[in-house]
């Protein structure tokens, strides 16, 4: 059986202090219920994007492993087709969450007292760019990725199928 106990908070900890929301004292905020702010939204969206991307990587690996283990060309095409459709759906979900994350970060950047804004300003002073987009990564890696089929060779393994 649990007993409820009342704990007296010392006067030092009862002082009124402002919280992140304007014109709301901490006691009023605590009575009003939970408050959802931009930092919590950023944390949620970063977690969501990371989890969705990790799931996409695992799913992609399973599809490729299934295609390589297929016993007939028809089964391989079926696995790759279904895998491609699901991968496109996952990509849309990742893109949508990523867009929400970027909007949240833009809003946090407007608050000059927020740690994200401070760290970003310091990095910009050091010459670091705001972010790395997928297109900039592809611009660097694209030529290398296009050479992979040439490195892999023209015929594939014991089946004799072409890799391209």
CA-based Rg of the chain, rounded to a whole angstrom? Answer: 26
The percentage of the chain sitting over the pLDDT mark of 90, rounded to a whole number, equals 25
- Host H or E run for residue 49: helix 38-68
Report the percent of the chain where pLDDT is more than 70. 59
pLDDT tens sequence across 47-93: 999 999 999 999 999 999 999 999 999 999 999 999 999 999 999 89
Mean pLDDT of 86-107: 90
Per-position b or e across 97-117, b if 16+ CB within 10 A of its CB = bbebbeebbeebeeeeebebe
pLDDT band with cut points at 50, 70 and 90 for residue 150: very low
Q: Give whole-number Cα distances, 20 to 26, 39, 62, 79, in Å.
A: 9, 10, 45, 51
- Tell whether the model's pLDDT for residue 142 goes beyond 70: no
pLDDT in the model for residue 63: 92
Q: What is the pTM of this model?
A: 0.58
Q: What is the pLDDT of residue 65?
A: 92
Q: 42: which 2 tokens?
A: 């950023």
Average pLDDT, the chain: 74
> How much is the pLDDT for 62?
93
Q: Which residue has the tokens 């009023």?
A: 28
Residue 19 confidence (pLDDT) above 50: no
Contact between 79 and 67 (Cβ < 8 Å): yes
């Amino acid at each position: 059986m649990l007993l409820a106990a009342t704990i007296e908070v010392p006067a030092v900890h009862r002082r009124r202090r402002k919280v992140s929301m304007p014109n709301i004292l901490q006691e009023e905020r605590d009575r009003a219920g939970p408050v959802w702010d931009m930092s919590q939204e950023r944390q949620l969206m970063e977690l969501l994007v990371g989890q969705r991307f990790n799931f996409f990587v695992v799913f992609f690996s399973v599809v490729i492993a299934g295609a390589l283990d297929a016993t007939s060309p028809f089964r391989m095409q079926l696995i790759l087709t279904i895998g491609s459709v699901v991968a496109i759906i996952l990509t849309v979900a990742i893109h949508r969450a990523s867009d929400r994350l970027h909007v949240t970060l833009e809003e946090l950047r407007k608050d000059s007292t927020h740690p994200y804004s401070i760290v970003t300003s310091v990095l910009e002073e050091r010459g670091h760019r705001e972010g790395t987009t997928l297109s900039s990564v592809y611009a660097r890696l694209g030529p290398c990725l296009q050479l992979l089929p040439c490195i892999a060779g023209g015929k594939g393994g014991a089946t004799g199928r072409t890799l391209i």
